[in-house]
Structure 1
Amino acid sequence: MNEFGSPVPVNRYEATDDWHAVDRYFTSTLVREDSILAVARDSGDATTMPNAEVAANQGAFLEILAKIAGARRVLEFGTLAGYSTIWLARAVGEQGQVVTLELEPENAAVAKANFHAAGVSHQIETIVGPATESTERLINDDTEPFDFVFIDADKPNNPAYLAAALKLTHSGAVIVIDNVVRNGAVADAASADPRVQGVRTVAEDIAAHPDLDGTALQTVGEKGWDGLIIARRR
């Protein structure tokens, strides 16, 4: 039961044919996913988490958000095959930079091949290792602040990633956190799932932070029932 007294369906909602059809319609009508991006998306099957990359329309959404934010420096938690990284690299342009953090060396190798094929390798720095350690080094090195942060890594560490992002950004920076609905389980305060609790804690941290404005949106589509949090530093 959630705090509203209603049962919470966990792992019950799968992407329906209608959800797929709607995603296909909007993607084919609005999204410019070229062959390079399509290959990068398909190469996710060679990573440690197949089919975990964002959908094409979500990649385009990230690109538009980064452009709206006027981002020239982007920090990404969770590279996998580099699909969302390429969208973000294109958003920041030739003079911009994306720093992407990936735990697994084999995923980073897949991503780097995709960056080369996309012609954006010179815009991307891939750092391999635990993201908490990588961000600590960035903080200690007094890295130039980032304008946009995309958090799409292990969910239990979301609060730690937000804390690091706040040390690595400036006023006006935008922070996006993916996969926050968890098939509705996020509404269950008593959930024993550390991924759910990671999302709930980071949402509460955003709500309590005096310099952050945030909201969350549920989504349905080819990736099922999920959603994201968007926050902006005042």
Structure 2
Amino acid sequence: MALLDGKKLLITGVLTDSSIAFHAARLAQEEGAEVILSSFGRQMKLTQAFAKRLPVAAPVVELDVTNEEDLAALADRVKEHTDGLDGVVHSIGFAPQSVMGGNFLSAEWGDVATALQISTYSYKSLIEAARPLMSGGAYVGLTFDATFAWPVYDWMGVAKAGLESANRYLARDLGPHGIRCNLVSAGPIRTTAAKSIPGFATMEDAWPQRAPLGWDQTTAEPAARAVVALLSDWFPATTGEIVHVDGGVHAMGQ
């Protein structure tokens, strides 16, 4: 029996075949899950193209997490493809470049608000929109360790700290409904999102040397495996947790 046999999943954030979300969708299908993707606007064509590269071509539903109409319609759009969900993956984050790359003090509220809405508040918005389709199950999001003030990450680091806090509160409020909420904190991976951060190379270059297990920045597979494991029934009593997939850097001193 495969790890996710019979599971029905909604996975957001598939924009390239190098992303954690894409590899999570691929592995989930290989482990027996039925996968539905979401996208919106100009990104929709990209997601549809990469959906065809999965082992089984996945349907793509429209969802802009900042659009209340899209959120309200999500359950009905997913129902066109399946009758319920056992798991949801939140792989959503965005911040204007003006709030990263050393611009912490000069960042303006409007741009910071955009980062917080998309990268933090959407974590609550997405699961609330999907919850009518769920009778228990797993909610998994992606973070980058917000314990420290990282070079160049700036307000996105603040947004991730908020995400990690929101995960704990969602674990509290959704636990009685049988929904487990956990995050995967991956080390730096050379994804499209990472490349959009000004000066990101200054943060990633030393990572392989600091990681006790070493670190391969070119593959999202280890992080995706953690996502799939958390979507499975093998963590029935784990919620509010952050699983680090970073080669061990989070546990080391500077």
After TM superposition, the score normalised by the length of structure 1 is: 0.45
Structure with greater strand percent: 1
